[in-house]
Amino acid sequence: CDLTGWWENDLGSRMHVLEVDSEGNFSGEYHTAVSNTEKPIQPSPLVGSQHLDKDGQCTFGFTVNWKFSDSTAVFVGQCFAGDNGGELLQTSWLLREKVDSLPSDWKATR
């Protein structure tokens, strides 16, 4: 699985991975199409790593530092061969929003 390039999800968010090095490390930008903030959405930097498995069905993870909000997201996933011969990424994510106090911690992670 070559993560280098542009990827788009079902909601229209796009990820651009610049280059995956020989150790599986990569960086890029995430362009989200969804947000619950009233601030203008901006492309945000991402940093991650992947296993470089010979079968091409690698696992990977990356962190996005949102530039338009006080939150951070982490994604983990795996690459699969798609029906049309392309590659498909299946991911799960967690989003941590900043809260004002410890009693509000319960609502900070989605």
pLDDT at 36 over 90: no
User: What integer pLDDT is reported at residue 107 of this predicted model?
Assistant: 92
- Taking the domains of the chain in order of start, what are their residue ranges? 5-98
pLDDT at 18 over 90: yes
Overall average pLDDT of the 73-94 stretch: 91
Average pLDDT, the chain: 91
Interatomic CA distance for residues 65 and 21, integer angstroms: 21
pLDDT in tens, 87-106: 899 999 999 999 999 999 99
CA atoms within 13 A of residue 105's CA, in its CB half-sphere = 2
Overall average pLDDT of the 33-61 stretch: 87
pLDDT at 37 over 90: no
- The pTM (predicted TM-score) of the whole model is 0.87
Overall average pLDDT of the 21-47 stretch: 89
User: What integer pLDDT is reported at residue 31 of this predicted model?
Assistant: 93
Superfamily of chain region 5-98? Avidin-like (2.40.128.30)
Cβ 108 vs Cβ 96: under 8 Å: yes
